[in-house]
Amino acid sequence: MKHNLVGIISSALGVWLTGASAQTIDLASSKVVDLSHPYDAKTIYWPTEPTGFQLKQEHKGLTKGGFFYYSNAFCSPEHGGTHIDAPMHFAEGHWTNSDIPIDRLIRPAVVIDVSQKAAQNADYALTNADIAAWEEANGRIPDGAIVLLRTGWSTRWPDRKAYLGDDTPGVATNLHFPSYGPEAATFLVSERHVSLIGLDTASVDIGPSQDFMVHRIIGAANVPGLENLANLDQLPATGAIVMAMPMKIAQGSGAPARVIAFAPR
């Protein structure tokens, strides 16, 4: 029965994704990789956020009826932990969180690894030359793909100072971490028509950025961004399919997200 169920799910996903992007998911031969950090008291938020993740226990124990019941309430800013930036975050009149078409969030993914360069330069920004070198080795980035940038920064989580480059409360002018460069972002949205970009640092702009050009470029193109991803080292350069499932917050500028990938074993 279990084998048959896997086959049915694989077939259904395969047919749907074949039509959307010419790539299939074979669950029987794939590993599922969790690309998300958990939410807890250590979750890293942008330094100017006045609050972080809060979990309040409402009930834990036996009820009057004699059975066990456990329930909490939580509160969180939109932009912290593993989350999505909706285009509206930096582009007025563009998609909010609940407007993003679901098919934009389930696509074949490519992983560009700049971890060695980032280890030498904490403010390293992805360039068009990096993309060209990746395509020389792996082939053209498919139109509509999800592009993930691996910097190696997730190994620093949840050490706020190591991850952000500075841990001064309320100050976001002395941050240091790698990310996308504006020219590379422009190329990805205008020449490769990507559906989504993401990475394992706190922002799709490098830490020192004060004009947030990458946010503005992808927002204007209705391309969401995923930030604070984990385990990108477990994905191949090509061959994975990513599912990014944010909370569907109506009119949200972003939302916490559970992001997973199906990758060949």
The position carrying tokens 């930096």 is 90
Cβ proximity of 27 and 39 under 8 Å: no
- Tell me whether residue 89 is one of the annotated catalytic residues: yes
Cβ proximity of 105 and 86 under 8 Å: no
For 144, the enclosing helix (H) or strand (E) is none
Q: What is the DSSP string of 226-242?
A: EES---GGGS-SSSEEE
| Closest by Cα among 154, 138, 244, 228 to 192 | 138
Cβ proximity of 80 and 247 under 8 Å: no
Please identify which of the residues 37, 83, 89, 94 carries the catalytic annotation: 89
Residue environment code for 198-213, b if the CB has 16+ CB neighbours within 10 A, otherwise e: bbbbbbbbbbebeeeb
Cβ proximity of 180 and 197 under 8 Å: yes
Q: What is the DSSP string of 169-228?
A: TT--SS----EE-HHHHHHHHHTS--SEEEESSS-SB-TT-SS-HHHHHHHHTT--EEES
Q: CA 99 to CA 127: how far, in whole Å?
A: 30
State the first-to-last Cα distance of the chain, in angstroms, to the nearest integer. Answer: 23
Q: Which residues are annotated as catalytic?
A: 89
